[in-house]
């Protein structure tokens, strides 16, 4: 913040008063529910915000369509608001990644509180906004009805086109990423099949000796399956550990500007382990069948 504004930071009595004002808006419970997709930390509850004089801060603030990273607020930080009734102290209880609010004037950040606290801070506001979500895409009939209900004193903003562009961009990115992951998965599966097939074929003479000394085909099956499951389990565990560490590093460090939240990928880990074990188990069926179809003498001379 200091580098961007090139101003001298003055802190008096442990408090910093910025030279640029911030935006303060109020949300009702429905708007708080919609904002949960962008929640970085904390809890979005109108009841708890009212009880504890809570405020929500936004990590990225939009000014004339340009998003900038804000002050690194943390839960529990205290913020003093200058109101017509004097100073009011509010506590940071949640942090959002971003909100659909674009300021034409330069602002330090955006604060969100409940309608009750907003009225308590500033009194009854003359400016009010209504957010409407349409369930069905491109529902022109509903949009026309809304437009017919308002007059020139109300500003109507239609964000469907912008949201549609965002969704298409996300879809394109998702297709690329998941396509890349699918290609890696196919290569891994083929590698497992080839490795197990090569490993069993290379043991043809050894398995022939085992059969010659009295080992039954059922015992050979168990021995090969145990060996293959050992490979699959150890490989899956090592791969999942390294993959999880890499994923966390990329999200926390590589994409820190996006304020993404890393969660332990338990579902993906279970899917990877189960897939590896299943593919490994199936990959030994055909080579084992070929070896058992050979006579012992033929297997010993292979």
Q: 88-110 pLDDT, tens per residue? A: 888 999 988 877 776 666 777 88
CB 79 within 8 A of CB 92: yes
CB 111 within 8 A of CB 118: no
- Mean residue pLDDT of the chain comes to 81
H or E element at residue 283: helix 266-283
CB 217 within 8 A of CB 290: no
What 3-state DSSP class applies to 281? helix
Q: 173-218 pLDDT, tens per residue? A: 889 988 998 999 899 899 988 988 888 888 888 888 888 888 888 8
* 160 contact partners, CB below 8 Å, separation of at least 6: 134, 137, 138, 143
The one-character DSSP state at 97 is S
Q: How many residues does the chain have?
A: 302
Sheet holding 60-63, edge to edge: 66-69, 60-63, 102-103
Question: Which range among 84-88, 124-128, 221-225 has the greatest average pLDDT?
Answer: 221-225
pTM (2 d.p.):
0.58
Query: 161 pLDDT band (50/70/90 cuts)?
Result: confident
Taking residues 281-295, what's their average pLDDT?
A: 84
Between helix 266-283 and helix 217-249 the angle, nearest 10°, is 150
Asked if pLDDT for residue 249 goes beyond 90, the answer is no
The one-character DSSP state at 262 is P
Q: 21-48 pLDDT, tens per residue? A: 788 888 888 888 888 888 888 888 888 8
- Phi and psi at 163, nearest 5°, equal -65, -35
């Amino acid at each position: 913040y200091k580098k961007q504004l090139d101003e001298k930071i003055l802190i008096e009595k442990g408090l910093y008063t910025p030279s640029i004002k911030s935006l303060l808006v109020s949300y009702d419970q429905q708007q708080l529910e919609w904002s949960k997709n962008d929640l970085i930390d904390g809890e979005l509850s109108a009841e708890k915000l009212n009880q504890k004089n809570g405020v929500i801060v936004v990590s990225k603030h939009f000014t004339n369509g340009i998003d900038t990273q804000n002050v690194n607020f943390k839960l529990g930080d205290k913020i003093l608001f200058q109101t017509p009734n004097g100073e009011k102290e509010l506590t940071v209880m949640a942090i959002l990644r971003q909100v659909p609010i674009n300021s034409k004037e330069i602002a330090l950040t955006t604060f969100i509180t409940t309608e009750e606290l907003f009225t308590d801070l500033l009194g009854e506001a003359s400016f009010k906004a209504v957010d409407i979500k349409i369930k069905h895409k491109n529902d022109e009939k509903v949009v026309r009805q809304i437009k017919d209900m308002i007059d020139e004193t109300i500003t109507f903003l239609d964000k469907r086109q912008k949201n549609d562009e965002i969704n298409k961009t996300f879809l394109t990115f998702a297709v690329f990423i998941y396509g890349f992951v699918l290609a890696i998965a196919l290569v891994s599966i083929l590698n497992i099949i080839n490795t197990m097939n090569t490993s069993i074929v290379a043991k043809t003479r050894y398995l022939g000796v085992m059969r010659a000394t009295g080992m039954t085909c059922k015992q050979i099956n168990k021995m090969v399956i145990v060996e293959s499951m050992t490979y699959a389990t150890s490989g899956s565990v090592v791969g999942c550990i390294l993959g999880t560490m890499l994923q966390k590093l990329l999200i926390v460090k590589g994409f820190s500007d996006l304020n993404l939240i890393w969660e332990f990928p338990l579902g993906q880990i279970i899917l990877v382990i189960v897939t590896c074990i299943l593919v490994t188990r199936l990959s030994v069926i055909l080579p084992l069948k070929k070896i058992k179809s050979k006579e012992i003498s033929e297997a010993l001379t292979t």
